[in-house]
Amino acid sequence: MITEEQYQKAKSLVDQYEEQRSKELVENLRCIGCKKPVEPMDGLLAAPTELERSAWDGGTVALVRFGYGSRLHDGDAYYVALCDGCMLAAAGQGIIIQSSSTTLL
């Protein structure tokens, strides 16, 4: 059995690793429309497998899953970065559908 001190030391190391890994994963996220970097807000980066839950500066990152009928494999999932400017432009052109009652424009 490990001691509380050993547990805390190990947990700290795991937390440091997850933070480092998260930064590596998001380092090159760019808007799918204009290629502008979409970066996490300081201190608000979620776990590497939950990037859609993070807070993003000037945009967002969405988890997109592909299902039956797609050329991609059923269940494939991708993180897609979108900047605010491209989202507003797409909404103004009717290219995207808004799912809530909040108005983008």
The model's pLDDT over 1-21, given as tens digits with 9 standing for 90+, comes to 889 999 999 998 888 887 776
Q: Which domain holds residue 68?
A: 4-92
Residue 31: band (very low, low, confident or very high) from pLDDT cuts 50, 70, 90: very high
Evaluate whether residue 72 is within a structural domain.
Answer: yes
The model's pLDDT over 38-90, given as tens digits with 9 standing for 90+, comes to 888 876 666 667 788 788 889 998 888 887 787 777 778 888 999 999 999 99
Q: Which two tokens stand for residue 56?
A: 């993003």
Phi and psi of 11, rounded to 5°? -65, -40
CB-CB neighbours of 102 under 10 Å: 6
pLDDT of residue 105: 52
Give the span between the Cα atoms of 29 and 17, in whole angstroms.
Answer: 20
pLDDT of residue 39: 85
Evaluate whether residue 76 is within a structural domain.
Answer: yes
Give the span between the Cα atoms of 21 and 42, in whole angstroms.
Answer: 15
Evaluate whether residue 104 is within a structural domain.
Answer: no
At 39, is the secondary structure helix, strand, or coil?
Answer: strand
Evaluate whether residue 105 is within a structural domain.
Answer: no
